[in-house]
Structure 1
């Protein structure tokens, strides 16, 4: 097999599989997605997408249609269930200086998946193969052979790599023999979608995402584009309520309303389980196949999207010959601690807040944490405190000006490593040729003179706003294609060489 001519096979066309496929397409990597079902998911499932996921969708060219199908939210409300009074809100407007998307959105999974699939079809026609069920696979030194069951019989497909996005009961994980450890909560979650008028006939003025905490029985209220969603706990062993009981339960939370119509419901078993290994040679586990995290605080889907942000660019660098295979080891090294520790700690905090065992706080740090903008690779933390960005942090998506107008830092590094040299462009900082996959630029409040030789490398920073926000002084910063900081050092005349050498170390080539 010659992997340079083979696609990456994604198993499963849920949100993580589709977003991962879009990431590969955006990096020019051939991809095919195999989905066992006749149709995409029709179940009442995940419904809130956090800011960090919006940034990933933007990077992969899929944000605009997702926003069109969604409701935008600038407040994550917390209320006391017994009194209906606010106990505080996380206001995402506090993030206006950090991101182009200072909000979260609500869109149910069964409405999100067709949007993602349509974008994939537009950008990679025929990449999504429905009714293709994975039966087995064999790995080789230079590829993977997949055995699939289809309506037309069994087929074999050759792939360079296999990405398992096939959920908590992953066939791929089972075939690999990978163990899963953790625990399952005795308490289950009941989710029900209801049509009711809380805007005009029975105005309530609830936030579009509201957590009603209570020691006895909490509830989450989510405004979806076409309905209201209620989530509440079910005691162990209790059967799922019927429609009449669900309507009564909703009235118990929100009071009398004119009419309630049940659209659908689902009962979730709540897990915190993580695979013991996320990679075996050319096969990778992603999303629920690698980690089952409570959906509270939208941690399930959005933790999976962090996987879909991390792996595609690594595969692209290997495909292009810009990196060694060793670069792929960083996927599990960085993502597993976030699931095992970061998301797990947030899940426990979420349950404690809902059970009134812990008070939540509101402010910039809470907004960063609750939107996953606080993700820090390397130490598994999702909690972001004010201060200069460190290695592993997501860099703020700040605005600078190129020769054609405004551009943001995340746009600069969308398909490249970028070395930012925050220093005086008038002093002609030395640059040389960069290796493939790296672009180095100068960011300065002094526009590069026309005779400096830096015009195509210079970005104007009026008032040194980027420099001030980063709080690092004259520095060189290496950014990865996923927007995370890979290297920081005080700026010197050797910084171009140092950033280049660090890039080569990052992609596991000799520096």
Structure 2
């Protein structure tokens, strides 16, 4: 019997990891030291790529029902109230089923995720604080203090999602590179009617830049949220001063009520390595990122898209242990030089320290791809060729996220591309279905499908394995050559682009599973 995967920490990333384990049919034990899920005022914006992760792991409907959708991220000059370039998320309709981002506070988001952690694979234990662990050749042994005393849990792997002050990371002796800035932010949740009685025609997520005092205004489902920097040396602000600050920004509004406040430091710190044999770091335990442009929590969710399918393939016996090394190789650069540096540039831009963040010259479409995290390209083949900034439409490359366009299967049903690779590698053979191309046999964890703008003839024998690309829209969007195979991974990223040769697909897939 396979030992469960142990996940330490039930924040958003730990919950996503647990949902992923459930999705892949992996037993897991989720340990959280608090006796309830988060009640703190924390992250409040869910980017498009995170919504896609929610779909994969079965929580999108409930999350969408509780969140505010927004198709514009506004950027304004505070002094003049004039709009700068806004991020138009409606331009992503050619890429995703979710051409928007969501506003939903973390303490509302976490319970929605947790509601999905039921069933035979799930073991969720609140009020369990990890106190130690040890590793063997075939597993990990974790000790925790529970409500009834110490417990020992035997597992196959340990995923540390225990936050920026991770005790697991400290016990591993893993160092952290980067800095904690002498900068603090104040976040305020306010109840006020800025929609009807005191209407403010701002986007639901608006960044007001100003060298004296920038501000971020977020319309949450049940309140308005303000975020701004504190003066150096200031650790707290009296309620009356907070209220006065809000009124200076939105004017003299009636019925204003302060709900929650929190002060936090600004970090750009990343662990030097993320895997120690059978222990992995994820989320804030692996990377603390400046909380700007919603890149903190959402970068952690990228970890929960990358690691779980690898664990599933290894535990099913389809892949070798070396496949797990790709997690750190692909995700760490995104945190160090991708999300981290982009968030820092955004912080400096808001305060007038710089005049550009480095992505303003991109097209509106490319800007939306970047800010939604749909433009991430991973280093899938170890060449250190990756990107988080989308420069514009270009031919698909290894590491690119595949657009989630609709196709039609052999029975005429509409199906989205990401549905095909939810729990499988998929080799898409772009060729003329009328010519009756020979597809290689499927392998465990690998499906082969032909994609054509010509419907596969009934007598071809290909209909069960054929997808109709009406108008050749997917083929045109990818920009690849005809008679090409695009190999997709279970996280929607392109693993390889190959010639139309049956043996090439099998050889490449087996090499990936060996960690090559």
The interval holding the TM-score normalised by the smaller chain is over 0.9
Would you say 1:409 and 2:417 are equivalent positions? yes
Aligned equivalents of 1:214 and 1:130: distance in 2? 43
Q: 1:67-126 deviations in whole A, cap 9, x for unaligned?
A: 1111101000001111222112111001000111000001001111111111113x4575
How big is the shift at 1:349?
Answer: 2.2
Q: Kindly indicate whether the alpha-carbon contact (under 8 Å) linking 1:349 and 1:358 is maintained by their aligned counterparts in 2.
A: no
Q: Which runs of 5+ in 2 are unaligned?
A: 380-384
SS in 2 for 1:178: coil
Partner of residue 448 from structure 1, selected from 453, 456, 461:
456
Aligned equivalents of 1:157 and 1:6: distance in 2? 10
The correspondence of residues 194-205 of structure 1 with structure 2, limited to 5 A, is 194-205=190-201
Would you say 1:282 and 2:278 are equivalent positions? yes
The TM-score normalised by the length of structure 1 is: 0.96
Q: How many equivalent pairs are there?
A: 503
Would you say 1:60 and 2:91 are equivalent positions? no
How big is the shift at 1:191?
Answer: 0.4
SS in 1 for 2:164: coil
Q: Kindly report structure 1 stretches of 4+ aligned residues shifted beyond 6 Å.
A: none
How big is the shift at 1:8?
Answer: 0.2
How big is the shift at 1:239?
Answer: 2.8
1:85 is matched with which residue?
82
Aligned equivalents of 2:296 and 2:386: distance in 1? 16
Would you say 1:381 and 2:387 are equivalent positions? yes
Q: 1:455-498 deviations in whole A, cap 9, x for unaligned?
A: 11100111111111111131210000000001113x43x2x221
SS in 2 for 1:472: coil
SS in 1 for 2:303: helix
Q: 1:164-219 deviations in whole A, cap 9, x for unaligned?
A: 00000111111111111110111111101000110010001110000000111100
Partner of residue 142 from structure 2, selected from 139, 146, 157:
146
SS in 1 for 2:184: strand
1:100 is matched with which residue?
97
2:445 is matched with which residue?
437
Q: Which runs of 5+ in 1 are unaligned?
A: none
The 1:89/1:326 distance shift into structure 2, 3 A limit, reads same
SS in 1 for 2:84: strand
Deviates further, 251-260 or 387-396: 251-260
Q: Kindly indicate whether the alpha-carbon contact (under 8 Å) linking 2:349 and 2:355 is maintained by their aligned counterparts in 1.
A: yes
2:238 is matched with which residue?
242
How big is the shift at 1:256?
Answer: 1.8
Q: Kindly indicate whether the alpha-carbon contact (under 8 Å) linking 1:81 and 1:253 is maintained by their aligned counterparts in 2.
A: no
Partner of residue 186 from structure 2, selected from 183, 190, 193:
190
Partner of residue 502 from structure 1, selected from 508, 512, 516:
508
Aligned equivalents of 1:30 and 1:135: distance in 2? 22
RMSD (Å), alpha carbons: 1.3
How big is the shift at 1:428?
Answer: 1.1
SS in 1 for 2:94: coil
Aligned equivalents of 2:452 and 2:314: distance in 1? 33
The correspondence of residues 297-308 of structure 1 with structure 2, limited to 5 A, is 297-308=293-304
Aligned equivalents of 1:176 and 1:154: distance in 2? 21
Aligned equivalents of 1:125 and 1:476: distance in 2? 35
How big is the shift at 1:410?
Answer: 0.7
Aligned equivalents of 2:341 and 2:289: distance in 1? 10
Aligned equivalents of 1:404 and 1:128: distance in 2? 41
2:44 is matched with which residue?
47
How big is the shift at 1:65?
Answer: 0.6
The correspondence of residues 300-339 of structure 1 with structure 2, limited to 5 A, is 300-339=296-335
The 1:437/1:388 distance shift into structure 2, 3 A limit, reads same
The 1:435/1:125 distance shift into structure 2, 3 A limit, reads closer
Would you say 1:393 and 2:400 are equivalent positions? yes
Aligned equivalents of 1:327 and 1:509: distance in 2? 4
Q: Kindly indicate whether the alpha-carbon contact (under 8 Å) linking 1:190 and 1:267 is maintained by their aligned counterparts in 2.
A: yes
Partner of residue 459 from structure 1, selected from 453, 467, 475:
467
Deviates further, 21-30 or 403-412: 403-412
Q: Kindly indicate whether the alpha-carbon contact (under 8 Å) linking 1:188 and 1:268 is maintained by their aligned counterparts in 2.
A: yes
Q: Kindly indicate whether the alpha-carbon contact (under 8 Å) linking 2:4 and 2:26 is maintained by their aligned counterparts in 1.
A: yes
Deviates further, 360-369 or 417-426: 360-369
SS in 1 for 2:294: helix
SS in 2 for 1:119: coil
Partner of residue 485 from structure 1, selected from 494, 501, 515:
494
How big is the shift at 1:227?
Answer: 0.3
SS in 2 for 1:96: helix
